[in-house]
Structure 1
Amino acid sequence: MLVLEFKLKGKKSQFALVDEALRTVQFVRNKALRFWMDGHGKSQYDLNKYCAVLAKEFEWAKKLNSQARQAAAERAWSAIARFFNNCRKAISGKKGYPKFQKDNRSVEYKTSGWKLSKDRTVLTFTDGFGIGSFKLLGSRDLNFYPIDQIKRVRVIRRADGYYCQFGILVERKVATEPTGKALGIDLGLKYFLAGSDGQTLQNPQYLRKSEQHIKRWQRQVSRKQKGSKNRIKARKRLAKKHLQVARQRRDFAVKTARALILSNDLIAYENLQVQNMVKNHVLAKSISDASWGIFVQWLGYFGQVFGKVVVPVPPQYTSQDCANCGQRVPKTLSTRTHTCPKCNYCECRDVNAARVILQKGLKLASEKYPRAVGNLTLGESLTATLSNENCLKQVISLNQESPHL
């Protein structure tokens, strides 16, 4: 599904009605969750039926579109289902028991409750709140897609205004010429990533660069009296700064992932468990600022769009093994250079790890698709592997026969 986002331009009175719709969605979602906690809702279908009961019981809840009420109940059920899945998997720590929502910021319509103008530049909401019409501000053109392909319309409140997202049911595929290149990348903190080709990309550290401004606005919020208008203004300034940092991270991740996908046929990356890594209170801020999770998501997405192979590799011992001979060389985090006592291979720690990741990624790809990589053999050294002409041809055939793992 393709998601296109636009900013809404309207009057303050209209946005006040949007806030009322957001509060109604929060009410329906919390009531559906309470319905399940009381032992009445056994399935998602039961929560959807309960939405009709809420509409009859509360007159103001009936103003919200029926499909929007069901979407709110589906949010509650997704939290319930996630809790049960975590219990079945027996994950360590908290299982994520569903909680009541306190600050809802989005309302989702399905195929009713809204309509677009003929030129697709004005969005009108037709539910009982009487929100009216908004002008859509954005660079995308909705005229390329039929109305029946728009399956979701989501209104989101952010620190700098209100936005609308259109979920369009369309499969995005872009044909590209094979490059004959394979790349392994090692994600880190000193470098955002290090490639098996020896190139590195510096970590932008957007949060660190904006930390002084954030601290200043945070102090302003703390000094204002709770409930005052000045405190609300200070909170908005602080929220806008955090939003700016989040957008910088996302923009960097999207552009980097796209560039890597377009310049390689196969990319192997280490499948890091970021949720577990941020439990380290010493490195938690730096790990979160690196935004590895967003980068990996976009890497997989662009791999599907452009028909490239993206291979996640288990991160165990990728920094310890030697890329030249396979000897395991233990080292601490402070040791930045890999020196193998067996073959005397010396290289940057991150580059060596990226080459080990590429070797493992090629092996996993050959096991996943033996037909496409039947003659692929990993040499003793990475240089021999990448210089093998047959190996590069097999990578190209893997790209053509199996677009994505």
Structure 2
Amino acid sequence: MRKTYKFRIYPTKPQIRQMERSLEVCRHVYNRTLAERKQVYEETGKTLSKYTLNNLLPQWKADNPEYNEVFSQTLQEVQERVDLAFKHFFRRVKNGEKPGYPRFKGKGWYDSFTYPQMGFKLKDDHIYLSKIGDVYVKFHRQIEGNIKRVTVRRTSCTKWYVSLIIEPEDIPTPIVDLNKVIGIDVGLSSFLTMSDGDNVSNPRFFKAEEKELARVQRKLSQTVKGTTDRQKAIKVVQRVHERISNKRYDFAHQISRFLVDKYSFIAFEDLNIKNMIRDPQYSKSIADVSWNMLITATKYKAESAGKIVVLVNPYNTSQMCSKCGLIVKKTINNRIHKCDSCGLALDRDYNAAINILRLGLQSVGIKSVEARRL
């Protein structure tokens, strides 16, 4: 298992210029690699391997001296991205999905570069990056483990971040404490409802910023393309989007940290969010809650802490009575579960969370545990 630490970096103006040039060189190499693969396939019907393309880099550098401004392994990693894009393309074709053929990157559309093995080194509150120098880093937490990979990224608001891929030295053996197990039903009325009866309200970050976003987008639509006023208006819109994204990201990580610290076993539904988000009535709300971000953050935190996270089949978790097992049909507007067989009446999300916990425990060989409050 590998962990990712993300930190804000504060490069000097010369370093920013060099990083911007590095992104442009990487973009050119990406487009050239894509063009090379496309041309060879059209002419011969054969696919160039990543290693064959890596061997072309020395000649490309000789033809384009600016390529030498970027660390050699970083350019190889760019070609790896093209190779990965084609692998995903062929996988989607095989599965009958919308293929999405790899596209060329326009100016400004390449926003990160990677040091896959070397070319970096931590120095107190700085990180050394080959061809760039020592860049100041705001370390907000301690790094534990060996750094295997470093990625530098520029956001739409021209902030710079560094992501450190770490291989932890010790990973605890997972142990289930039956006094610390929880089932979680994610939703829209409540962000999540737990099998012990607690719930977390939906913060609705996008809805809170929707009027402000509409205001700045109206201003943007009134500007003339190609003017400095339009560029400024675009930046304002990007800042609002970034603020919403940051709030959502911070909230998901706070909740996931709370869950991992408190419980040894956590069960979620294995939701097909891609299909759910196609519903025009709820697509905006589902996108705003970012369930997948919460589940992903909880999974990797739990793994490094020796806790267990399982995903269960969501089929009938809301319809089944958690006490007697009878299927009680409900529409999405029925918020209360009422069972005519056993008389159980409680919030439908609470009922679903209890079922999720039961299914989660069964998936690891534990038959049952009393999860509801008496």
Structure 1 and Structure 2 fold alike (TM over 0.5)? yes
The SS at the match of 1:269 is strand
3-state SS in 1 of match to 2:322:
coil
Instruction: Name the amino acid aligned to 1:71.
Output: E
Q: Does 1:5 align with 2:6?
A: yes
**1:190 — aligned with what?**
189
Change (3 A) 1:226 1:174: farther
* Cα deviation digits, residues 363-396 of structure 1 (max 9, x gap): 1111xxxxxxxxx433xxx74x779xxxxxxxxx
5 Å-filtered alignment, 1:15-94, equals 15-38=16-39, 39=41, 41-88=47-94, 90-91=95-96, 93-94=97-98
Query: What aligned pairs does 1:126-275 form with structure 2 within 5 A after superposition?
Result: 126-127=130-131, 131-140=132-141, 149-158=146-155, 159-171=157-169, 173=171, 178=177, 180-275=179-274
Partner of 1:98: 102
Is the Cα contact below 8 Å between 1:32 and 1:50 reproduced in 2? no
SS of 1:323's equivalent? coil
CA distance in 2, matches of 1:135, 1:377: 53
TM-score, normalised relative to structure 1: 0.83
Distance 1:224 1:189 in 2: 36
Superposed, which structure 2 residues align to 1:267-346 within 5 Å? 267-346=266-345
Mapped contact 1:41–1:47 kept (Cα < 8 A): no
Question: Secondary structure at 1:218's aligned position in 2?
Answer: helix
Residue type of the alignment partner of 2:227? S
CA gap of 1:265–1:341, structure 2 versus 1, over 3 A, is: same
Residue aligned with 1:14, SS: helix
Once residues 99 and 247 of structure 1 are traced to their aligned partners in structure 2, the CA distance between those partners, rounded to angstroms, is: 28
Residues 195, 372 of structure 2: 8 Å contact kept:
no
- From the superposition, tell whether residues 58 and 278 of structure 1 become closer, same or farther in structure 2 (CA, over 3 Å): same
Determine helix, strand or coil for the equivalent of 1:262.
Answer: helix
1:176: Cα distance to partner? 9.7
Provide the secondary structure at the position in 1 that maps to 2:364.
helix
Query: 1:172, CA displacement in angstroms?
Result: 5.7
Change (3 A) 1:100 1:274: same
Q: 1:28 to 1:214 in 2, by over 3 A?
A: same
Does the residue aligned with 2:310 lie in a helix, a strand or coil?
Answer: strand
Once the two structures are overlaid, the 10-residue window that deviates more, 232-241 or 1-10, is 1-10
Within 1, Cα distance between the matches of 2:150 and 2:308?
Answer: 32
Gaps of 5+ in 2: none
Letter in 2 for 1:205: R
Measured at CA, do residues 95 and 341 of structure 1 come closer, stay the same or move farther in structure 2, by a change above 3 Å? Answer: farther
1:160–1:240 Cα contact (<8 Å) kept:
no
SS of 1:152 mapped into structure 2: strand
Which range moved further: 28-37 or 271-280?
28-37
Distance 1:233-1:352 versus aligned 2 partners, 3 A rule: same
User: CA shift at 1:197, angstroms?
Assistant: 1.2
Q: In structure 2, the residue corresponding to 1:279 is in which secondary structure?
A: coil
In the other structure, the counterpart of 1:350 is: 349
Matches of 1:377 and 1:229, distance apart in 2: 65
Could you say if the C-alpha distance between residues 224 and 132 of structure 1 is closer, same or farther in structure 2, counting changes exceeding 3 Å?
farther
Are the aligned partners of 1:51 and 1:73 in contact in 2 as well (CA < 8 Å)?
Answer: no
Distance 1:361 1:114, change over 3 A: closer
- The number of equivalent residue pairs is 363
Aligned to 1:246, what secondary structure does the other structure show?
Answer: helix
Pair 1:362–1:150, CA change in 2 (3 A): closer
Deviation at 1:205, TM superposition (A): 0.8
Q: Deviation at 1:114?
A: 4.2
- TM-score normalised to the size of structure 2? 0.89
Q: Which amino acid aligns with 1:161?
A: K
* Conserved? CA contact 1:7–1:162, under 8 Å: yes
- In the alignment, is the contact (CA less than 8 A) between 2:197 and 2:372 conserved in 1? no
Distance 2:134 2:263 in 1: 45
The residue that corresponds to 2:367 in the other structure is 377
State the alpha-carbon separation in 2 of the partners of residues 179 and 104 from structure 1.
48
Percent identity for Structure 1 against Structure 2: 31
What is the aligned partner in structure 2 of residue 372 from structure 1? none
Q: Secondary structure at the match of 1:321?
A: coil
Question: What letter is aligned with 2:151?
Answer: R
C-alpha spacing 1:114/1:306, structure 2 compared with 1 (3 Å)? closer
CA shift digits 1:160-188 (9 cap, x unpaired)? 52222222333464689947222111110
Partner of 2:116: 110
- Aligned CA distance change for structure 1 residues 314 and 191 (closer, same or farther; 3 Å): same
Q: CA deviation at 1:57?
A: 2.6
Q: Distance in 1 between matches of 2:224 and 2:102?
A: 32
